[in-house]
């Protein structure tokens, strides 16, 4: 269990931060940006929860918030192949099951969906876009560190998570009946 006796350490006053393995990086490093994006995504989910979503969605979101701490932990501790990591294939598989379950109840779509509709859907679309940015930062970190020091399951999980936010947003829009659809050239 984590025990914090002090909130500030002053160790970051020089623009560096300490990783979970004790190494130090500048705060602008891709690894720090990646787990910072995870933290931001978790905060968006927190806002979503206080602004109201259906209880079944809220339960999933609370599970995801805990998952995101595992994701952040994996990113905060550079791992070599074979080391024990928190995120496993089971995390993405669980999300795939949820995506398939929700998607079965949705109206078919024949156009891109614009962010919006209900307030809950708008928050879920915001979470989706923050998740996609987070994914891009992890992909860049993965490429620069040649994958060996980044858990590949983290990337799969975050990719599936953005897909889950998309179907949950459609579900929040009356199972897709309330989606706001893109009309190409509408204002041209």
pLDDT the model gives residue 81:
43
pTM exceeds cut of 0.85: yes
Distance CA 156, CA 69 (A): 16
Q: What is the dihedral of CA 95, 98, 100, 106, to 10 degrees?
A: -130
The two three-digit tokens of residue 25, written as one number: 């990086």
pLDDT the model gives residue 143:
86
pLDDT the model gives residue 82:
42
pLDDT the model gives residue 110:
85
- CATH classification (class only), 20-178: mainly alpha
Q: Is 26 helix (H, G, I), strand (E, B) or coil?
A: strand
Residue 179: count other Cβ atoms within 10 Å of its Cβ.
23
Residue 108: count other Cβ atoms within 10 Å of its Cβ.
5
Q: Considering only CA atoms, which of 109, 110, 142, 115 is closest in space to residue 128?
A: 115
pLDDT the model gives residue 8:
63
Domain residue ranges in the chain: 20-178
| Cα-based distances in Å from 105 to 23, 52, 170 | 47, 21, 10
All residue ranges of the chain with pLDDT < 50 are 81-82
Q: What angle do CA 120, 182, 175 make, to 5 degrees?
A: 40
pLDDT the model gives residue 75:
87
**In the chain, which ranges are continuous DSSP H helix?**
30-51, 55-76, 89-104, 119-144, 152-172
Spatial neighbors of 165 by CB under 8 A, at least 6 apart, are 124, 125, 127, 128, 131
pLDDT the model gives residue 166:
95
pLDDT the model gives residue 7:
60
């Amino acid at each position: 269990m984590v025990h914090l006796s002090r909130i500030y350490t002053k160790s970051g006053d020089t623009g560096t931060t300490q990783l979970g393995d004790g190494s130090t990086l500048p705060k602008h490093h891709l690894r720090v940006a990646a787990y910072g994006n995870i933290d931001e995504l978790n905060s968006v989910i927190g806002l979503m929860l206080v602004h109201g979503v259906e209880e079944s969605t809220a339960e999933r979101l609370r599970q995801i918030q805990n998952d995101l701490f595992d994701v952040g932990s994996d990113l905060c501790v550079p791992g070599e192949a074979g080391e024990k990591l928190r995120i496993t294939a089971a995390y993405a598989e669980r999300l795939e099951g949820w995506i398939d379950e929700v998607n079965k109840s949705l109206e078919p779509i024949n156009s891109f969906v614009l962010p919006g509709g209900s307030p809950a859907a708008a928050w879920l679309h915001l979470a989706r876009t923050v998740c996609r940015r987070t994914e891009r930062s992890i992909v860049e970190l993965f490429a620069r560190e040649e994958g060996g020091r980044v858990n590949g399951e983290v990337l799969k999980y975050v990719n599936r998570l953005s897909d889950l936010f998309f179907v949950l947003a459609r579900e929040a829009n009356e199972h897709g009946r309330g989606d706001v659809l893109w009309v190409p050239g509408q204002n041209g």
